[in-house]
Amino acid sequence: MKNVRVARRYAKALMAVAEERNMLDRTAADLDRIGALVRGSRELRLFLARPIVSEEKKRNVLRNLFGPSVGPLTMEFLLQLVVKNREPVLLEIIEQFEELRDEKLGIVSVDVTSAVEFSPPQEKELTQKLELHTRKKVRVRFALDKAVRGGFLVRIGDTVLDASLRHQLEVLRERFTESGPLTN
Amino acid sequence: MADVRPEEVSAILRRQLSGFEKEVDVYDVGTVLQIGDGVARVYGLTKALMSELVEFPHGVFGMVLNLEEDNVGCILFGESSEIKEGDTVKRTGKVASMPVGEKMLGRVVTPLGQPTDGRGPITTEKVMPIERKALGVIQRQPVKEPLQTGVKSVDAMIPIGRGQRELIIGDRQTGKTAIALDTIINQKYTHTEKAKKEGIKPVYCIYVAIGQKSSTLAQVVDKLQQEGAMEYTTVIAATASYPAPMQYIAPYSGATLGEYFRDSGRHALVVYDDLSKHAQSYRQVSLLLRRPPGREAYPGDVFYLHSRLLERASKLSEELGGGSLTALPVIETQAGDVSAYIPTNVISITDGQIYLESGLFNSGVRPGINIGISVSRVGGSAQIRAMKKIAGRLRIDLAQYRDLEAFAKFGSDLDKATQAQLLRGSRLVELLKQGQYVPMPVEKQVVSIFAGTNGYLDEIPLEHVLRFERELLEMMELKNPGLLLTIAEKKDLSDDTVARLKKILREFTDAFKASVRA
């Protein structure tokens, strides 16, 4: 989270270059794949974050891992990250890149957290409702969290639509206990 | 709580629960990027407003102070140790505010209005924002009523009017807080029936302690309680143990509470003790928020910090009820240096200053007010006529005394006129000495100073002056209460009163001289 500003700048730059060379889709697909791999491998994450490993070694590993599968632009970008010592931020850059691309395509990503899993028809209904609400295309990510207790909460950007039991219980507790002047 | 019947309980529960089943609640959130030392950087919160209140986990509240391109800087009003990076922050949609009302009187509260005196919750109907814009020219009128401090040298020569801003400035241990406390204690008489008859409206007091030791504040509260002054006083405590953001908002909370009384046509007095510490806590917050430092590392807007606070002191026009808010800011100087940044700022904002010197204080002149450089720019028009008549003479006599003081050691080599002036001056300086927590009503001050400026004291040995004053006032109270009452009610010295006063003083002085010789 801390490196949002850095990540956003790198993502913007990559985006601009990719558009210029007409390689946006290819680059996006590459980054998706890299992201999945980095997320999946704790070893790789630790390796990238370790400042003790020399630049040379990092570059070799990245070349060996991704060289055959990704486009030249993506490879160039990865190597440049190592030169600038920003490889620990790779995951965040990928996230920011996805966000930027979504913005461009008019897609809103929405997080839904619930205590019980949604059934497929429920998921579909919710997605349709959200698309109506935001008037944009919606990509919904569902997550489970027992702490919600019941109901669900939807997060669109900075705004939360809270229909969870947890929140209602909190409100109830505030009503019963003496609320300070701040909550009046 | 004793006799609540079961059916009532369920009724209360039902009332509490009604409207609870809201379908969906919508709020805006952000994520903590960085936290520490009372400030937080929050990612998100894109719609947050300036000085909006935000809620962190564990019931900690914060206030938005920085709106940047991709994050929001907040100050925290609670423990920051429990909050972690990645925690969710909620907008409340409200600006920081303070509960106000009569119920606040007699209580010790935090800058957010929560009680800290262990005497239970305070229920008020009204909540007002902490930061409010000061009133404009149309809503005001010139200061015209006196605010009696009960301190002779202040009321006579540096008079303070209701709605004025008078700075109390001096080194540590020179009696700054003592003057402020005396003033609060002296407002007790404005709440009496006698004052009501004399047409004096009650003054409600607010004492804002910023960055003081808790033990010092406990003593202050204790003293106010002993003197019965807590009945009309609210103490806002932001002691040194409070986080800097709390100390930063404390004076604004005090002003808000004072404005509540002012806006309802009443009179209020706020003491900000002290604004040097306030500037320091604001400097801390600003530097942590990475605002650029300026002179003495204070941020660029320290002037506005204090000017917007002190501008809120005002005397309202009659159409708005004629209420007033008087401000007594306190500034502590380092080794008498009034040309430091904060002292010069506050001196230029206020309508005058009471300058206290450690030299005077240590040589036994208490309160150690340096009359020469203390001024009150607007209070003169608020002084009662009786005082105005005698104070002019007092000021001149003291000024001449200061000019000649250097020659005092030549003693008998000086000519008669000079000797007489030195004699008079030394008596007046002695007369203006006054104990702490013994404010003097204005009519007694008038009698006392009248005796001094009319030369009755010249005949008394210096070491007997204080006894003379004490016994004179005792005698007046016992034998001539009518005369004191006349001065208090007429607020003027008519020729008749002067003649009577002179006659009484002549008799008393002669009797006193006999007692000295004996």
Question: So what's the pLDDT on residue B117?
Answer: 93
**Residues of chain B numbered 106-135 and touching chain A (CB < 8 Å):** 112-114, 121, 124, 127
Whether the per-residue pLDDT at A1 is higher than 60: the answer is no
In terms of DSSP bridges, do strands B126-129 and B203-210 run parallel, antiparallel, or are they unpaired? unpaired
Reduced to 3 states (helix: H, G, I; strand: E, B; else coil), residue B73 is strand
Contact B26 A161 (CB under 8 A): yes
* A4 interaction partners in chain B (CB closer than 8 Å): 33, 43, 70
Q: How far is CA B23 from CA A2, A153, B157, B460, in A?
A: 35, 11, 67, 86
Query: What is the average pLDDT score of chain B?
Result: 92
pLDDT band, very low/low/confident/very high, at B16 (cuts 50, 70, 90): low
Question: So what's the pLDDT on residue A183?
Answer: 43
Question: Among B180-189, B336-345, B395-404, which is the least confidently predicted range?
Answer: B395-404
* B127 interaction partners in chain A (CB closer than 8 Å): 181, 184
A175 touches chain B (CB under 8 A): yes
Whether the per-residue pLDDT at A181 is higher than 50: the answer is no
Distance from CA of B345 to the nearest CA of A (A): 33
**First CA to last CA distance, chain B:** 69
B17 touches chain A (CB under 8 A): yes
* Interface test mutation site (partner A, options B14, B25, B87, max chain A beta carbons within 10 A): B25
A165 touches chain B (CB under 8 A): no
Question: So what's the pLDDT on residue B18?
Answer: 67
Q: What is the DSSP string of A16-39?
A: HHHHHTT-HHHHHHHHHHHHHHHH
Distance CA B276, CA B261 (A): 26
Note the pLDDT tens digit of each residue in B275-333: 999 999 999 999 999 999 999 999 999 999 999 999 999 999 999 999 999 999 999 99
Distance CA B308, CA A120 (A): 59
B23, B86, B92: residue with CB nearest A163: B23
A5, A161, A184: residue with CB nearest B24: A161
Specify which of A19-28, B45-54, B115-124, B257-266 reaches the highest per-range mean pLDDT: B257-266
B341 touches chain A (CB under 8 A): no
Which amino acid appears at position B485 of this protein?
Answer: L
Reduced to 3 states (helix: H, G, I; strand: E, B; else coil), residue B104 is helix
For residues B358-379, average pLDDT: 93
Question: So what's the pLDDT on residue A184?
Answer: 41
Which among B132, B140, B291, B377 is annotated as catalytic? B377
For residues B431-437, average pLDDT: 95
Distance CA B164, CA B142 (A): 9
Strand locations in A68-136, DSSP E?
A: 107-114
Helices A42-49, A24-40: axis angle to 10 degrees equals 100
Question: Among B23-37, B120-134, B253-267, B355-369, which is the least confidently predicted range?
Answer: B23-37
Question: So what's the pLDDT on residue A182?
Answer: 46
* A176 interaction partners in chain B (CB closer than 8 Å): 16
Whether the per-residue pLDDT at B17 is higher than 70: the answer is no
A159, A163, A167: residue with CB nearest B28: A159
Residue A120, classified by CB atoms within 10 Å of its CB into exposed (0-12), middle (13-18) or buried (19+), is: exposed
Question: Among A63-67, B96-100, B429-433, which is the least confidently predicted range?
Answer: A63-67
Distance from CA of A101 to the nearest CA of B (A): 18
* B28 interaction partners in chain A (CB closer than 8 Å): 158-160
For residues B216-232, average pLDDT: 96
Contact A159 B27 (CB under 8 A): yes
Whether the per-residue pLDDT at A23 is higher than 50: the answer is yes
Higher pLDDT, B239 or B18: B239
Contact A2 B21 (CB under 8 A): no
Contact A168 B61 (CB under 8 A): no
Contact A157 B97 (CB under 8 A): no
Note the pLDDT tens digit of each residue in B47-58: 999 999 999 998
Distance CA A66, CA A74 (A): 9
* Token reading at A146: 């027992």
Residue of chain B minimizing CA distance to A5 = B70
Higher pLDDT, A163 or B348: B348
Contact B127 A184 (CB under 8 A): yes
Note the pLDDT tens digit of each residue in B159-210: 999 999 999 999 999 999 999 999 999 999 999 999 999 899 999 999 999 9
Contact A181 B27 (CB under 8 A): no
| B395 is an active site residue | no
Whether the per-residue pLDDT at A76 is higher than 70: the answer is yes
pLDDT band, very low/low/confident/very high, at A180 (cuts 50, 70, 90): very low
Contact B112 A175 (CB under 8 A): no
* pTM of the predicted protein model: 0.88
Question: Among B214-223, B353-362, B412-421, which is the least confidently predicted range?
Answer: B412-421
* B15 interaction partners in chain A (CB closer than 8 Å): none
Question: Among A170-179, B355-364, B423-432, B458-467, which is the least confidently predicted range?
Answer: A170-179
pLDDT band, very low/low/confident/very high, at A68 (cuts 50, 70, 90): confident
Whether the per-residue pLDDT at B457 is higher than 50: the answer is yes
Reduced to 3 states (helix: H, G, I; strand: E, B; else coil), residue B298 is coil
A4 touches chain B (CB under 8 A): yes
* A1 interaction partners in chain B (CB closer than 8 Å): 31, 33, 43, 85-86
Residue of chain B minimizing CA distance to A178 = B121
* Interface test mutation site (partner B, options A1, A148, A182, max chain B beta carbons within 10 A): A182
For residues B234-251, average pLDDT: 96
Cβ atoms B89, B42 nearer than 8 A: yes
B247 contact partners, CB below 8 Å, separation of at least 6: B111, B210, B211, B238, B277, B278, B281
Question: So what's the pLDDT on residue B193?
Answer: 93
